[in-house]
Amino acid sequence: MSIESGQPMPSGTFGVMTESGPGAMSTEELFAGKKVVLVSVPGAFTPTCSMNHLPGFVDHADALTEKGVDTIACMAVNDVFVMDAWGKDRGVGDKVLMLADGNGEYATALGLEMDASGFGMGMRGQRFAIVVDDGVATHVAVEGPGEFEVSKAESVLAAL
């Protein structure tokens, strides 16, 4: 069963790139006392993710902040090195926190994993956006297969 609005976010840990190399960030550090938009993409450097999904959150970061969002975080089932390189490639700067869910454990904990083996990608996270307020999901928008509408930045802004 996947996470629903009103439910607490599961505990977990993400990989993050620090100034001294790969590090970790707990969900407690990410969510406690903050409003966070957690965006998930099936894969870094993939077409829709790179050309539309992530750039939309970079472009609308200021508008999201104005609506009370403290952190915009993008997760994918990729390693910390790929997420860091993708963030640099897309010019996210400090607008979007890049989170590695390297083994897909957090996507699975959310009940939002997907099998992309048919595309040679193995297990991945679905495309979604969750608004989290102090550790509780307040808005959950999960895309259907091949869709890109409810989880884009403009839709999240409209839901805030």
- Whether 83 maps to a domain, the answer reads yes
- Whether 4 maps to a domain, the answer reads no
- Whether 76 maps to a domain, the answer reads yes
- Whether 112 maps to a domain, the answer reads yes
Q: How many domains does the chain have?
A: 1
- What's the whole-model pTM score? 0.94
| Residues 133, 160 contacting (CB under 8 angstroms) | no
Q: Over the range 35-57, which residues count as b (16 or more CB within 10 Å of their CB) and which as e? A: bbbbbbbbbbebebbbeebbbbb
pLDDT of residue 40: 96
Q: At 90, is the secondary structure helix, strand, or coil? A: coil
Q: pLDDT tens, position by position, for the chain (160 residues)?
A: 899 999 999 999 999 999 999 999 999 999 999 999 999 999 888 767 777 889 999 999 999 999 999 999 999 999 999 999 999 999 999 999 999 999 999 999 999 998 777 777 768 799 999 999 999 999 999 999 889 999 999 999 999 9
- Whether 6 maps to a domain, the answer reads no
pLDDT of residue 122: 65
- Print the domain residue range for 103: 13-159
Catalytic residue among 39, 44, 49, 99: 49
Nearest to 131 by CA among 58, 31, 16, 60: 31
- Whether 126 maps to a domain, the answer reads yes
- Whether 132 maps to a domain, the answer reads yes
49 annotated active-site: yes
Supply the CATH number for residue 52's domain: 3.40.30.10
Nearest to 54 by CA among 79, 81, 87: 87
- Whether 2 maps to a domain, the answer reads no
pLDDT of residue 7: 98
